[in-house]
Amino acid sequence: MNSPILSGALTQAHDASVSGSACLANARLILPEVEITGALTVENGTITDIREGDHLPEGAIDCGGDVVTPGLVELHTDNLERHMEPRPGVNWPHVSAMLAHDGELASCGITTVFDAMRVGSIHSGTGRYDKYARGLASEMMALRASGALRISHFLHLRAEICSETLLEELAEFTPDDRVGIVSLMDHTPGQRQFRDLSKLKQYVAKKKNMSDAEFADHVAHLKGLQEEHGARHLDGAVSEARRLGATLASHDDTTQAQVVDSAAHGVRFAEFPTTLEAAQACRNSGIDIMMGAPNIIRGGSHSGNVSASELAKLDLLDIVSSDYVPSALLLSAWRLAALWDDMPRAMRTVTQAPASAAGLTDRGALKVGLLGDLLRITSLDDTPILRGVWCRGRQVG
């Protein structure tokens, strides 16, 4: 795909680097530890004042008691890839896909996203997939520079350990690419997410339409790749994350031994541990635990893994990701608020905690001096309804 041709007429109005000013008053402000009724002022993109009381300053937006929270911070979403390939084998123009992705996230209250892109390809066997991340990242950077994006975008490189070209693809990125996260992903059949080969077969058959014989060849091929490249790819990915200045994440940890290895590599947070054993080991190792919002909303994992709600009840949940449903992120916070009877704690899992895990200290909380990324929310029964989204003080939704 060629680089995008961007019109000079594109406005800067919705770019995340452009700042605005706003005052939201008569609001239920969700601060990091408490909630208060008050007014919050953003000037030139930064929160400058938080004041308790029902006073309505001149020119302020009267929120009428609606909830105001920080904008949501998303660390792992497959949403961009879904827009790029809306159906198997259907490739969509990248610029259109990225703009749709950006707009959808803004409409769901996500004001900072780490766009997940796979690095590491397979050019042989029946389950081939091609390189795309470097080109897509360059297109994203051009869109951001043009002022076409509503929210803040960083990169999350999903390092496929079981591949042929991981290190070559990682080497194409530099610290200037805003790579915030490198996650260690080992999708070798028979372990982690795919311990149950029948689950893998179901997934692959749906996506790749493989016969039984082709699936058997696919499994054997992947196991061979892991044996040939796995150790070198793992060590190299850890080193490359360090070079890029990125936070290191693990993925689908299942056993205590895997978590011990993650801790030794310097992993900061664990994406979707699949068992209670792994989650408890993460807590003991000081690794933040991230679970999927769909798991919370559905009441369990669609893959048969550990329940996120059960982990929340056991104080083994720190961060929530929308994973494959962007609108799930805000709804999951509402569900956790009911579970814990603690709205500030619930909102931290989708704002302050993910921002901190990714090394962002300028957002994720309603505090003077932080970015004016804000949501105004009402609710219908137990469902949150967004009434406004601001990124750096400029309304984007």
- How many distinct helices (H) and strands (E) make up the chain? 13, 16
291 and 396 assigned to the same domain: no
Please give the pLDDT value at position 193.
Answer: 65
Structure tokens at 346: 């619930």
Q: Are residues 182 and 279 in the same domain?
A: yes
Q: Is the pLDDT of residue 44 over 70?
A: yes
Instruction: Specify if 154 maps to a domain.
Output: yes
Binned at pLDDT 50, 70 and 90, residue 3 comes out as very low
Question: Per the structure, how many domains does the chain have?
Answer: 2
> Are 228 and 207 in a shared domain?
yes
pLDDT at residue 12 is higher than 60: no
The CATH number assigned to the domain holding 227 equals 3.20.20.140
Q: Name the one residue in this structure whose structure tokens are 């750096």.
A: 392
Residue 181 burial (10 A CB sphere; 0-12, 13-18, 19+): buried
- pLDDT computed for residue 123 by the predictor: 66
Pair 374, 226 in one domain: no
Check whether 342 has a pLDDT greater than 70. yes
Please indicate, yes or no, if residue 86 is contained in any of the structural domains: yes
pLDDT of residue 190: 52
The answer to whether residues 52 and 176 belong to one domain is no
- Give backbone dihedrals phi and psi of 289, rounded to 5 degrees, phi first: -110, 120
Examine the pLDDT at 354 and tell me if it is beyond 90: yes
On whether both 386 and 349 belong to a single domain, the answer is no
- Residue 252 CA to residue 256 CA, distance in Å, equals 12
* Sequence-distant (≥ 6) Cβ neighbours of residue 333 within 8 angstroms: 320, 346, 347, 349, 350, 384
- Full-prediction pTM beyond 0.75? yes
Dihedral of CA 93/94/97/103: which sign? negative
CB 371 within 8 A of CB 47: yes
Q: In this structure, is residue 7 part of a structural domain?
A: no
- 4 part of a folded domain: no
Cα gap 373→366, rounded to integer Å: 9
pLDDT value at 11 more than 50: no
Q: For the chain, what percent of residues have pLDDT higher than 90?
A: 74
The secondary structure element, H or E, covering residue 264 is helix 256-265
- 292 shares a domain with 271: yes
| 9: in domain | no
Classify 319 as helix, strand or coil.
Answer: strand
Q: Which is it for the CA torsion 106, 110, 114, 119, positive or negative?
A: negative
Taking residue 310's Cβ as centre, other Cβ atoms within 10 Å add up to 16
Q: Which residues pair with 35 in a beta bridge?
A: 30
Max Cα–Cα distance, the chain, nearest Å: 71
Whether 27 contacts 60, CB under 8 Å: no
Same domain, 54 and 108: no
Domain housing 389 = 14-70+363-397
Q: What is the pLDDT of residues 118-166, one digit of tens each?
A: 998 876 666 666 889 999 999 999 999 999 999 999 999 999 987 888 9
Asked if residue 126 and residue 241 are part of one domain, the reply reads: yes
Q: How far apart are CA 393 and CA 287, in angstroms?
A: 33
Whether the predicted pLDDT of 264 surpasses 80: yes
For residues 52 and 110, state if they share a domain.
no
Best CA proximity match to 343, nearest among 40, 52, 67: 67
Q: What's the CA gap between 220 and 163, in Å, rounded?
A: 13
The answer to the question of residue 1 being in a domain is no
CA distance 125 to 129: 10
CA atoms within 13 A on the CB side of 296: 32
Q: Are residues 205 and 245 in the same domain?
A: yes
Q: Which of 98-102, 120-124, 297-301 has the lowest mean pLDDT?
A: 120-124
Statement: residue 67 has pLDDT above 50: yes
pLDDT averaged over every residue in the chain? 89
For residues 147 and 264, state if they share a domain: yes
Answer whether residue 246 is part of any domain.
Answer: yes
Tell me if 251 sits within 8 A of 271, measured CB to CB. yes
Q: pLDDT digits over 187-222, tens only?
A: 666 556 666 656 665 666 556 667 777 767 767 767
Task: Say if residue 14's pLDDT is above 50.
Answer: no
Share of the chain above pLDDT 70, in %: 85
Q: Give residue 23's pLDDT.
A: 97
Is residue 60 within 8 Å of residue 100, measured between CB atoms?
no
Nearest to 263 by CA among 254, 280, 250, 275: 250
Which residue's structure tokens are 């350990």? Answer: 161
CATH of the domain at 28: 2.30.40.10
Domain assignment present for 63: yes
Q: What is the pLDDT of residue 352?
A: 98
Q: What is the pLDDT of residue 218?
A: 64
- Beta-carbon contacts of 85 under 8 Å, excluding residues fewer than 6 positions away, are 91, 92
Phi/psi-derived region of residue 64, left when phi > 0, alpha when psi is between -120 and 50, beta in every other case: left
